[in-house]
Amino acid sequence: MQNHTLDSATRTWPSRLGGEVQTYLWRWQGQPVTAVYETLGNGQPVLVLPALSTVSTRAEMKQLAIALAAQFQVIVPDWPGFGDSDRLRLTYQPSLFKQFLHDFVQAKFTLPIAVIAAGHAAGYALALAAEKFQAFSKIILTAPTWRGPLAVMGAPLIMRNGVRELVRSPLIGQLLYGLNTRPGFLKWMYRRHVFVDAAKLTPGYIQQRFQGTQRPGARYAPAAFVTGSLDPVQTRKEFLTYLQGLSVPLMAVVAEQSPPASKAEMEAIAAMPNVQVARLPGTLGMAEEYGEAVAAAILPFLTHPVGQNIESSS
């Protein structure tokens, strides 16, 4: 695997998608943050936003990105605090991720672009579009979610905040994070919520995901995600409000084997007027596990001229 030297002779980032790796130097509340992103293919640009999770990385979008790169220029960033981007001890919160997305798009694109947002990324893309952010030409949501794991489980806010602060602490936090990122636990998590086909969870695959959890500072952003601190909204009503009066064409891809609570949120989005809908096999990791199928389902929507209707796929 080829490494790409980006800003010095000593710091390199590996290609996760087989494309060109670059960095975007961003600032949050005066703190410099280096975000890593990767580009492959040629044509009209499409921004692909990975889902947030304990092991979030742009590598999850590889199959989807390669399939789309036959017709488009595909850009896939690692969110701050995840993947190869800086994992600083910041207070990770929705305003941080929404501002990052706003600034990244403004800095890298001169014309409106299509955006594909997986999981929690859906809320940030929709929030900007609802504010009449003019940089998106189309929005595609794949297995969209908005609640972190502990919130889905019904843990009260005071408990979730306490867990987040424990994980952020120097000693206990490292222990708790270590317990929740052991290879055995990661495999259990993938089998329960992320992949349908357990045969794909090979020792090599799980080891790759485990290695991604071992970077310095790796626990801070995942702790925020797991405890619901990155949830873009607090209620389904708030989330659906983003869709009301949305002027940007929108497509939602529902993962048929998703956990019941997550599936209910996807179906609520699919039931909204003017939403193109596709239903495909998969669960919360659908964009990774079935990337080629997702690409095939969304290509008609991506290639169709804005302003003309197309039939929903199912």
How many Cβ atoms are within 10 Å of 143's Cβ, its own excluded?
28
Burial of 261-286, coded b for 16+ CB within 10 Å and e otherwise, reads ebbebbebbbeeeebbbbbbebbbbb
What's the pLDDT band for 171 if we cut at 50, 70, 90?
Answer: confident
Q: Which of the pair, 7 or 152, is modelled with greater confidence?
A: 152
Reading the block at residue 254, the tokens are 């529902």
Q: Are 253 and 282 in contact (CB under 8 A)?
A: no
Ranges of beta strands (E only) in the chain are: 3-5, 12-14, 20-28, 31-40, 45-49, 73-77, 113-118, 136-142, 250-255, 275-280
Q: Residue 134 and residue 123: Cα distance in Å, rounded?
A: 16
Q: Does residue 3 belong to any structural domain of this protein?
A: no
Chain segment 67-123, per-residue pLDDT in tens: 999 999 999 999 999 999 999 999 999 999 999 999 999 999 999 999 999 999 999
- Residues constituting the chain: 314
Examine residue 7 and state whether it is found in any structural domain, yes or no: no
Residue 57's pLDDT band (cuts 50, 70, 90): very high
At 3 the pLDDT is 36
CB atoms within 10 A of CB 61: 27
Secondary structure E strands in 29-178: 31-40, 45-49, 73-77, 113-118, 136-142
Look at residue 46 and tell me if it is in a domain. yes
* Percentage of the chain modeled with pLDDT above 70: 94
Domain assignment of residue 29, yes or no:
yes
Torsion of CA 269, 275, 276, 280, to 10 degrees: 0
pLDDT of residue 196: 97
- What is the average pLDDT across 262-279? 96
| Residue 168 structural domain | 19-303
Query: What pLDDT, in 10s, does the model give residues 198-239?
Result: 999 999 999 999 999 999 999 999 999 999 999 999 999 999
What is the model's pTM?
Answer: 0.93
Distance CA 32, CA 175 (A): 28
- Give me the pLDDT at residue 11, please: 74
Residue 189 has pLDDT above 50, yes or no: yes
Within-domain flag for 279? yes
- At residue 265, what is the residue type? E
CB 229 within 8 A of CB 148: yes
Helices and strands, number each (H, E), in the chain: 13, 10
Average pLDDT, the chain: 92
User: Contact, 52 vs 230, CB < 8 A?
Assistant: yes
Q: Could you tell me the sign of the dihedral formed by the alpha carbons of 239, 38, 95, 119, in that order? A: positive
Q: Which among 49, 65, 47, 45 has a CA at the least distance from the CA of 111?
A: 45
pLDDT at 54 over 80: yes
116 domain residue, yes or no: yes
Our CA dihedral for 11, 17, 23, 29, rounded to 10 degrees, sits at: -110
Residue 7, pLDDT above cutoff 50? no
- Domain membership of residue 143 (yes or no) is yes
CATH number of the domain where residue 200 is located:
3.40.50.1820
Total domains in the fold of the chain: 1
In a domain, 1, yes or no: no
